[in-house]
Amino acid sequence: MKVKKIHILGIAGTFMGGIAQLAKAMGCEVTGSDKAIYPPMSTQLEQAGIAVSNEADPSFLKTEPDVVVIGNAKSRGDVAVEATLNTLQKYTSGPQWLAENILHDRWVIAVAGTHGKTTTASMVAWILEFAGLKPGFLIGGVPSNFGVSARLGNAPFFVVEADEYDTAFFDKRSKFVHYHPRTLVINNLEFDHADIFDNLAAIQTQFHHCVRTVPGNGLIITPNDEPNVDKVIEKGCWTPIETQGEQHADWSYKRIQSDGSAFRVYYKNTFIGDVYWSMTGRHNIRNALSAIAAAQNAGVMVSCAVEALNHFKGVARRMSLVGEVNGITLYDDFAHHPTAIQTTLQGAKQQLMIHKQQGGGNLKSNRLIAVFEPRSNTMRMGIHKDALPATFKEADAVYAFIDSAWNWSLSTRLFTQPVCITTCYEHLLQTLLHDLKAGDTVVMMSNGSFGGLHQKLLNSLRTRSGE
């Protein structure tokens, strides 16, 4: 049987890099190209034995691939895209390739929503793994329980992070329309991706298209307090729904610890079990309820799902500990939308308060320091700039990098705490080195590389302390 040859344009992205790993696991000969590639995807591709070239070099076409899979970051005018079209080379999108080659005969558990997709999908995959089901998955991050963002796994279950962003330059439908899930989680819904959606209604239309693909013998899991999600369901739904929330929901909870690091799970008001884990925040409790509901729909006993979450290790770049030097603790987080920033800081603040109550507040400082870079396409456009100051209310000081090329700025007068806004990474680094003191908890938030600030700050602090 002829080995299929696949070349992937835009392989450095988490989704497309995941497609590459899945294709390799299926026995395909896989190559890829991109403008730049960096960890963690560069490490994963290297470990998988997948060769990566510069996208400006279209010589990959000489190898006569069976298909070129084109990422949604690629557009007309890209050298590799133009060469693919000009040679009449067969091509497809990542979501379409995934649907046709892997998902078509799987029980697909899709996790959608503006926030929490990566974490919730990671929880679902881990619960299934803990139950011995060895699921496949494709997630837009690296679950710490697995160490990779994608795995072929065993049939029938496949967990996919279901992104509403568009599919490709030639297919402007949302990615998740291709997945045809049997179990669908919708965490929440807010306006985002202003570069491709005009308004919230346009996003709700795409979510409704996804809802229309879920079979009648499947399940849709939604929050019980999200009107924006309710409006999607009101457009038409042919599938049973289970809700999650703090109360008056099918799946509910009660906090054991105020920071969310411990909570009790209830199903239809019946106590199921307790979760004690390293995660914090109300949002992660809600993510957990959705994950438990999805796993139960796949046949996992709820007691097993709860126990699995006691062993859940989180996701890289979701409040990941970077390091601690001289009482200064550094965290890395992916938050880039105002709501995500607010919930991340709320969880961090609650954790600090508990630490202080338990006698850990004897250092010179007990401050929560927010360091932020608005890197998403929507943020670069300045869409949420007016909402930003209020989202940092839990922080004791705010430091922000705003690229001058984005043509908008933030006024320090809009903040209620000390704030430093700069257009230079090096200035930001030096300011932090000057201002930070023992007892500070620093949360660095960006969905990009943040100019390598995380490691530079840690290394500089270590050098200063003589470590």
Residue 360 has pLDDT above 60, yes or no: no
Lowest-pLDDT range, 153-157, 235-239, 358-362? 358-362
How far apart, in whole angstroms, are the C-alpha atoms of residue 163 and residue 336?
16
Query: Are the C-beta atoms of residues 259 and 353 closer than 8 Å to each other?
Result: yes
Residues 6+ apart with CB under 8 A from 459: none
Q: What band does 382 get if pLDDT is binned at 50, 70 and 90? A: low
Residue type, 122: S
Residue 241 has pLDDT above 60, yes or no: yes
Q: What is the pLDDT of residue 245?
A: 96
What radius of gyration, in Å, describes the C-alpha atoms of the chain?
A: 22
Q: What is the mean pLDDT of residues 47-69?
A: 90
Q: What band does 154 get if pLDDT is binned at 50, 70 and 90? A: very high
Residue 384 has pLDDT above 70, yes or no: no
Domain boundary residue among 58, 93, 128? 93
Lowest-pLDDT range, 186-200, 280-294, 353-367? 353-367
Q: What angle is formed at CA 68 by the lines to CA 65 and CA 71, rounded to 5 degrees?
A: 155
How far apart, in whole angstroms, are the C-alpha atoms of residue 411 and residue 403?
14
- Same domain, yes or no, for 123 and 71? no
Q: Summarize pLDDT for 269-328 with one digit per residue, the tens.
A: 999 999 999 888 888 999 999 999 999 999 999 999 999 999 999 887 667 788 888 888
- Same domain, yes or no, for 332 and 425? yes
How far apart, in whole angstroms, are the C-alpha atoms of residue 414 and residue 397?
13
Q: For the domain that residue 136 is a member of, what is the CATH number? A: 3.40.1190.10
Q: Summarize pLDDT for 410-464 with one digit per residue, the tens.
A: 777 778 888 888 888 898 889 888 889 888 888 888 877 777 888 888 888 888 7
Residue 182 has pLDDT above 90, yes or no: yes
β-strand partners of 29: 5
Is the previous residue joined to 40 through a cis bond, with omega within 30 degrees of 0? yes
- Same domain, yes or no, for 291 and 380? no
Range of the structural domain that residue 370 is part of:
320-465
Residue 364 has pLDDT above 60, yes or no: no
Residue 361 has pLDDT above 60, yes or no: no
315 found inside a domain = no
Domain boundary residue among 264, 290, 309? 309
The pTM for the full model equals 0.77
Torsion-angle region of 314 (φ positive above 0: left; ψ -120 to 50: alpha; else: beta): left
53 found inside a domain = yes
Residues 6+ apart with CB under 8 A from 248: 224
175 found inside a domain = yes
Domain boundary residue among 309, 338, 357? 309
Q: What is the pLDDT of residue 123?
A: 97
- Same domain, yes or no, for 186 and 46? no
- Same domain, yes or no, for 443 and 336? yes
Closest to 317 in 3D by CA, of 329, 341, 333: 333
- Same domain, yes or no, for 123 and 184? yes
- Same domain, yes or no, for 111 and 236? yes
314 found inside a domain = no
How far apart, in whole angstroms, are the C-alpha atoms of residue 160 and residue 213?
15
What burial letters (b/e) apply to 425-464, b meaning 16+ CB within 10 Å?
beebbeebeeebeebbbbbbbbbeebeebbebbbeebeee
355 found inside a domain = yes
How far apart, in whole angstroms, are the C-alpha atoms of residue 238 and residue 85?
40
Q: How many domains does the chain have?
A: 3
The conformation of residue 2, written as its DSSP 8-state character, comes to: P
Q: For the domain that residue 405 is a member of, what is the CATH number? A: 3.90.190.20
- Same domain, yes or no, for 194 and 338? no
Percent of the chain with pLDDT over 70: 93
- Same domain, yes or no, for 16 and 152? no
- Same domain, yes or no, for 122 and 246? yes
Q: What is the pLDDT of residue 390?
A: 77
Q: For the domain that residue 50 is a member of, what is the CATH number? A: 3.40.50.720
How far apart, in whole angstroms, are the C-alpha atoms of residue 354 and residue 258?
8
